[in-house]
A and B are shown apart, each in its own frame.
Chain A
Amino acid sequence: ETGVTQSPTHLIKTRGQQVTLRCSSQSGHNTVSWYQQALGQGPQFIFQYYREEENGRGNFPPRFSGLQFPNYSSELNVNALELDDSALYLCASSLSGDRGATNEKLFFGSGTQLSVL
């Protein structure tokens, strides 16, 4: 059973650029969530994808967007990067049933550390 893997592990971008972060869910998991963890803070919910559709969004602007693919892997895209976007971005997968996405037990990847200069 493979765990949640994220790529790249580290990334440096400049202000105004665009970035794509990737996540491969744990085998069999159909739900993926993205969280942003700023230095000294807890993870903050960005959005969740369930069955390839967005299923909830936190307090993040539209320049944060995502995709979930049929194989349940996922991307997080951030446009027009700002200095405050510097953070650890965590992907988490879970197995949801037919009644809808669940957050009862998330499995997290190790994250992508994004630095915006």
Chain B
Amino acid sequence: DQQVKQNSPSLSVQEGRISILNCDYTNSMFDYFLWYKKYPAEGPTFLISISSIKDKNEDGRFTVFLNKSAKHLSLHIVPSQPGDSAVYFCAASVIRSNLFFGTGTRLTVIP
């Protein structure tokens, strides 16, 4: 049973525009959420995280929003750059336990 879901396998966005990647989860015990980025032939790289006590966390061009009542989080990238083209994984955990990953969304930023 997939506890973390990314329903969009792919997303294409023009350079300079906003990219919005979505993630839903089913386990209400999750209290820590992360986004990882993966380039081909490399391991996932940590991007940004958010604790369940917050509803927004920002780091430069990247912002993660958490809606606990809807069990939904999203990653906003503004402005999108060609170097952002990668597979993005959403992950969730109860702090200090293992991560549950979604199936990933492939983002393509078109120059």
| Cα–Cα distance between A99 and B100 once the two chains are bound (Å) | 22
| Cα–Cα distance between A42 and B105 once the two chains are bound (Å) | 10
Question: Contact at B89–A43, with CB atoms within 8 Å?
Answer: yes
The interface size of chain A toward B, counting residues with CB under 8 Å, comes to: 27
Confirm or deny: A41 has a beta carbon within 8 angstroms of a beta carbon on chain B: yes
Stretch among A12-20, A79-87, A105-113 lining the B interface? A105-113
The interface size of chain B toward A, counting residues with CB under 8 Å, comes to: 25
A41-B103, A107-B46 in contact; A101/B96 too (CB < 8 A)?
Answer: yes
CB < 8 Å neighbour of B96 from A35, A41, A45, A103: A103
In the complex formed, the residue of B with least CB distance to A42 is B101
Chain B, 89-105, CB within 8 A of any chain A CB: 89, 91, 93, 95-104
Scoring B residues 34 to 56 as 1 if CB is less than 8 Å from chain A, else 0, what string do you get?
Answer: 10100001111110010000000
Confirm or deny: A102 has a beta carbon within 8 angstroms of a beta carbon on chain B: yes
Contacts of B93 in A (CB 8 A): 103
Confirm or deny: A8 has a beta carbon within 8 angstroms of a beta carbon on chain B: no
A42-B101, A43-B89 in contact; A110/B43 too (CB < 8 A)?
Answer: yes
Instruction: Give the dominant DSSP class at A's interface.
Output: loop
Contacts of A99 in B (CB 8 A): 96
CB < 8 Å neighbour of B103 from A42, A58, A100, A106: A42
Listed in ascending order, the chain B residues whose CB lies under 8 Å from chain A are: 4, 6, 32, 34, 36, 41-46, 49, 89, 91, 93, 95-104
What are 26 inter-chain pairs, A to B, with CB distance below 8 A?
A33-B98, A41-B103, A42-B6, A42-B89, A42-B102, A43-B44, A43-B89, A45-B100, A56-B97, A90-B43, A92-B43, A102-B95, A103-B32, A103-B96, A103-B97, A104-B32, A104-B49, A104-B95, A105-B34, A105-B46, A106-B46, A106-B99, A108-B45, A110-B41, A110-B43, A111-B43
Would you list the 10 A-B pairs with minimal beta carbon distance, nearest first?
A108-B43, A42-B101, A45-B98, A43-B101, A108-B44, A42-B103, A110-B43, A109-B43, A42-B102, A110-B42
